[in-house]
Amino acid sequence: MLKHQHSSIVALFIQITTTLLVCLFVISQSIITMSLFEWSISQGLLAGLISYFLRMPIWWTLIQLMFVPLCITTLALEISSLWFLSLFLCLLLIYGKTYKTQVPLYLSSKNVNAALETLLPRQDQFSFVDLGSGCGGLLNNLAKVHKNGSFYGIESAPLPLLISKLRSLPNQDSCKIFWGSFWEYDLSQYDVVYAYLSPVPMESLWHKARKEMRPGSLLISNTFLIPGITPYKSIELNDFSNSTLYLWKI
Please enumerate in sequence order all residues whose Cβ is within 8 A of that of 98, keeping only pairs 6 or more positions apart, or say none: 104, 105
Closest CB to ligand SAM among residues 78, 184: 184
Q: Is 48 in the site for ligand SAM (CB under 6 A)?
A: no
Using CB under 6 A as the binding rule, the residues of this chain from 113 to 132 that contact ligand SAM are 130, 132
Torsions phi, psi for 96 (to 5 deg) = -55, -35
Alpha helices per DSSP H over 54-190 = 58-76, 81-95, 98-101, 110-119, 137-145, 158-167
The Cα–Cα gap between 218 and 38 comes to 56
Please enumerate in sequence order all residues whose Cβ is within 8 A of that of 198, keeping only pairs 6 or more positions apart, or say none: 102, 103, 104, 224
Please enumerate in sequence order all residues whose Cβ is within 8 A of that of 248, keeping only pairs 6 or more positions apart, or say none: 206, 209, 218, 219, 220, 221, 226, 229, 231, 232
Q: Is 56 in the site for ligand SAM (CB under 6 A)?
A: no
Using CB under 6 A, pick the residue from 20, 183, 207, 249 that binds ligand SAM.
183
Q: Is 156 in the site for ligand SAM (CB under 6 A)?
A: yes
Q: Is 175 in the site for ligand SAM (CB under 6 A)?
A: no
Alpha helices per DSSP H over 122-223 = 137-145, 158-167, 202-212
Using CB under 6 A as the binding rule, the residues of this chain from 66 to 105 that contact ligand SAM are 101, 103, 105
Torsions phi, psi for 232 (to 5 deg) = -80, -15
The Cα–Cα gap between 196 and 106 comes to 9
Q: How far is the CB of 163 from ligand SAM (least distance, A)?
A: 10
Options 30-38, 54-62, 77-85, 149-157: segment touching ligand SAM (CB under 6 A): 149-157
Closest CB to ligand SAM among residues 133, 168: 133
Q: How far is the CB of 20 from ligand SAM (least distance, A)?
A: 35
Closest CB to ligand SAM among residues 10, 129: 129
Q: How far is the CB of 247 from ligand SAM (least distance, A)?
A: 16
Q: Is 248 in the site for ligand SAM (CB under 6 A)?
A: no
Please enumerate in sequence order all residues whose Cβ is within 8 A of that of 73, keeping only pairs 6 or more positions apart, or say none: 37
Strand duo 233-236 + 244-249: pairing: antiparallel
Using CB under 6 A, pick the residue from 46, 160, 193, 205 that binds ligand SAM.
160
Using CB under 6 A, pick the residue from 5, 71, 106, 210 that binds ligand SAM.
106
Q: Is 141 in the site for ligand SAM (CB under 6 A)?
A: no
Using CB under 6 A, pick the residue from 19, 127, 181, 244 that binds ligand SAM.
181
Residues that bind ligand SAM (CB under 6 A): 101, 103, 105-108, 130, 132-134, 137-138, 154-157, 160, 181-183, 196-197
